[in-house]
Amino acid sequence: MHPYFATLKQWLRSVVHDNGAVQGEATMETMRRFRIFAGFTLLVNMGYVAKLGFFTGSQGSLPHVRWASAIGWAHGTMALAMAVLGLLIHRFCQSHVRASPQALVLQTLFACTALAFAVALSVIDQMVTTNTTNFATICLLVGMLSLMRPTWALAMFVGTYLVFFQALALTQRDPELLALARSHGLSAVLMSFVASTVMWHQYASAVLLRREIVRGNRALACKQSELEYLATHDALTGLYNRREFMRLAEMELVRSARLPSDTCVLMVDLDFFKKINDRYGHPAGDEVLQQVAAMLKNGVRASDVIARMGGEEFIVLLPSTDCEGALAVAEKLRCVVREKPLQVQGFAIQVTASIGVSGLKKSQRASIDGLYATADQALYVAKQSGRDRVEYLALEPMGIPMSLAD
């Protein structure tokens, strides 16, 4: 196939796909428009019926009387049709948010009814005049109000013109005037089709653009959430990172100062972690960190804050927890870590942890940096005392570790 035809075929497929994608919204918009149009048309029809009911024509001329009677019947029939269709469309719009096959049927029926009315008025007008203005006006209104795919609109307007072409001969006997009226009708149909195509293209483009903007905003929101997560969490373990932990801990200390309560911090360090990396490789070491992080997270309360400080060090903030409770939690975590070897890449790796504990009594005040330094000092003591153990170090009243107060 020639590249030009291949490109054209691809473009046509894209157009058909886009048209199908917006048809539902277009139909619902058309239904809302037709609901208003039906009410307005009903008033106009009733006005014509009331006026033409007293029409006697110029000096009672029979052609004018027949014309007035036919126009009155046409408007009366159209009024009934608008009342029924308008009610059906109103009920559909109230009970449906999205389009359905029923909506497409109503849209088509309404448009065809309006176009049939346009043909009827023009045919009746040929009794006394060559006027086709009503036909052109109604066709243009249908083309602008009814959001139809171009192929659908083309079929509808071609069918309308064929009926118009044949029906005019019923009342217009002059060949020249008949040809003139048919040419006017053809111009009206062409303009209406162009208007319909333009309205459809503008609406479809607006809908597709709006959807693209919504998708873009959603993707942007997802990216923003992802960036916010990465900014506050450790990429390897999924725990809070150091900066976010410090921020949350400062907030907790402010809260505990306002509502006095004990607060404790645990510093957890895996023993001989460098040997694990050297023996099993860094990927295995990463998996060990992930498994230990999961165990630590499952071993504390949902209200506790746990973070990875870097390397093989973790930190846990225990709000509303005294030193006895913190020591119990630390001992539980130590036992959980060493309970059984971790299964990593086919290896059974035994891991132990040293834990330093420090805390603030509800009567004490200190910054998170001071509390962190005290827990780190307690961790150092645990390391120096043989590892795989828990050590506690209290703060002086001014927030200085007791072992450093000298």
**Rounded-to-integer distance, Cα 78 and Cα 334, Å:** 86
* Contacts with 92 (C-beta within 8 Å, 6 or more apart), sequence order: 31, 102, 103, 106
Q: Could you write out the three-class secondary structure of the chain?
A: CCHHHHHHHHHHHHHHHHHHHHHHHHHHHHHHHHHHHHHHHHHHHHHHHHHHCCCCCHHHCHHHHHHHHHHHHHHHHHHHHHHHHHHHHHHHHHHCCCCCHHHHHHHHHHHHHHHHHHHHHHHHHCCCCCCCHHHHHHHHHHHHHCCCCHHHHHHHHHHHHHHHHHHHHHCCCCHHHHHHHHHHHHHHHHHHHHHHHHHHHHHHHHHHHHHHHHHHHHHHHHHHHHHHHHHHECCCCCCECHHHHHHHHHHHHHHHHHCCCCEEEEEEEECCHHHHHHHHCHHHHHHHHHHHHHHHHHCCCCCCEEEEEECCEEEEEEECCCHHHHHHHHHHHHHHHHCCCEEECCEEECCCEEEEEEEECCCCCCCHHHHHHHHHHHHHHHHHCCCCCEEECCECCCCCEHHHCC
Which is catalytic among the residues 250, 312, 331, 391? 312
Contact assessment for residue 21 and residue 68, using Cβ atoms and an 8 Å cutoff: no
Please state, in angstroms and as integers, the Cα–Cα distance from residue 2 to each residue in 12, 13, 14, 161, following that order.
15, 17, 19, 37
Closest-CA residue to 123 (of 187, 78, 169): 169
Mark whether 29 is an active-site residue: no
Where in the sequence numbering do the catalytic residues fall?
A: 312
